[in-house]
Amino acid sequence: MKNLLRAVPLAFLLGAFLGALEGICLLFFVDLQFRQPALEMFGMEWRHGLLGVVALPVALLVAIVLRLPRKTPADLAGWSFLGISWLILNMWIHTEVYRHASVFRGQPLLILLGSIAAVFILHWVFRRVTAKTTKHAIIVICAGVIFLPVKAQFGYTRATPPPTAQVSADLPDITVVVIDTLRADHLGLYGYSRKDGEQTSPFMDSFAAESLVFENCWSQAPWTRPSMASLHSGLFCTPAIPSAPSACFKKKSRASCLTGLGGGPKRSCTPASTDSICSGLRTRSNSLRTAMRASSSGT
């Protein structure tokens, strides 16, 4: 218990250092546009430091079960730091590189096993370093926790400069309300009705009665992230609608066909020819709607 309490400051410091490293990666490699990079990174350091402290009991339990080194506070803090690093690294790889593919096959499995081996190797290196020069290691970590946010504040340049266009004060304010995964074919304003007479969207129906309603509107992508990116950037994403959706509905059920529309590689939004993409989406969406109606009438 004494080692666990003595490991708290070091675990917080290592967690803060991990937050600084992740913040630098997000800033310079992912190109997130922070308004105040230093403040954002100090916030990440604080949260990751608390996470490192919270993970200490878990690290102690795992060390006891697996009979891992745990004699010194540095051992426990090292396991906490490397465990959180392993989770964050695999989360980024699994979501951003392999797009939630199964981790039990091919390259994702090799990376998972390799990262586990790296945890034990790095902990062995960490023990040797802290055993010889604990104070020097702490000084280096503290310097990194302070230097990296300062480097981000004064050394970061945005890849995309902020817009400089002047906005007229006479333009009205516009509020965009987005409802994710809302089915238009279950809204009263699009003609949906229940057998028991209950209204599914009374407020939206009354609002639509006094508004302009688009009856043939299609999302830019079949999943949330690229669709929201198109909404905010004005750029079209690569359409994922199959070229012959009618064949899909003939061979499969409606549910499996619509589920299949979300498959395939997830691509980022890129500038493209607006006219050609609009034409392609219009042609494919019309054939898809015809296939859905034919499937509905056949069932």
User: pTM above the 0.85 mark?
Assistant: no
> By C-alpha distance, which of 178, 294, 164 is closest to 231?
178
| Torsion sign (Cα): 291, 292, 296, 299 | positive
Residues near 280 by beta carbon (within 8 Å), at least 6 away in sequence = 239
Residues 26 and 108 in one domain: yes
Residues 225 and 149 in one domain: no
Residues 137 and 234 in one domain: no
Q: Determine how many CB atoms are found less than 10 A away from the CB of residue 220.
A: 18
Phi-psi region of 49 (alpha: psi -120 to 50; beta: other; left: phi over 0): alpha
**How far is residue 64 from each of residues 15, 52, 94, measured CA to CA in Å?**
22, 18, 29
Among 135, 155, 175, residue at a domain's last position: 155
Structure token pair of residue 157: 């340049």
H-state helical runs in 67-132: 73-92, 106-132
Residues 137 and 264 in one domain: no
Element (H, E) at 261: none
Residue 157 confidence (pLDDT): 63
Residues 42 and 134 in one domain: yes
Among 101, 126, 155, residue at a domain's last position: 155
Is residue 76, in this structure, part of any structural domain at all?
Answer: yes
Is residue 165, in this structure, part of any structural domain at all?
Answer: no
Residues 135 and 239 in one domain: no
Q: Over the stretch 219-243, which tens digit does the pLDDT of each residue have?
A: 777 777 777 777 877 777 654 444 4
Using a 10 angstrom Cβ sphere, with 0-12 exposed, 13-18 middle and 19 or more buried, the burial of residue 67 is: exposed
Q: Domain range holding 234? A: 219-299
Residues 32 and 105 in one domain: yes
Q: Over the stretch 138-191, which tens digit does the pLDDT of each residue have?
A: 898 999 999 999 888 887 665 555 556 566 777 788 888 888 888 888 899 888
Residues 106 and 245 in one domain: no
Q: Over the stretch 185-215, which tens digit does the pLDDT of each residue have?
A: 889 988 898 889 899 999 999 999 998 888 8
Is residue 84, in this structure, part of any structural domain at all?
Answer: yes
13 confidence band (pLDDT: 50, 70, 90) = very high
Residue 160 confidence (pLDDT): 52
Residues 10 and 130 in one domain: yes
Residue carrying the six token digits 């209950």: 198
Structure token pair of residue 28: 């310079």
Using a 10 angstrom Cβ sphere, with 0-12 exposed, 13-18 middle and 19 or more buried, the burial of residue 79 is: buried
| Count of domains forming the chain | 2
Integer Cα distance of 125 and 145 in angstroms: 20
The DSSP string of 181-242 is: T--GGGSGGGT---TT---S-HHHHHHHTTS---SS---SSSSHHHHHHHHHH-PPPPP-S-
Phi-psi region of 138 (alpha: psi -120 to 50; beta: other; left: phi over 0): alpha
Is residue 168, in this structure, part of any structural domain at all?
Answer: no
Residues 55 and 147 in one domain: yes
Residues 113 and 234 in one domain: no
Structure token pair of residue 268: 């980022």
114 confidence band (pLDDT: 50, 70, 90) = very high
Q: Over the stretch 255-264, which tens digit does the pLDDT of each residue have?
A: 433 333 333 3
Is residue 57, in this structure, part of any structural domain at all?
Answer: yes
Is residue 169, in this structure, part of any structural domain at all?
Answer: no
Is residue 199, in this structure, part of any structural domain at all?
Answer: no
Structure token pair of residue 169: 């004060």
Among 99, 125, 155, residue at a domain's last position: 155
Is residue 284, in this structure, part of any structural domain at all?
Answer: yes
Residues 143 and 45 in one domain: yes
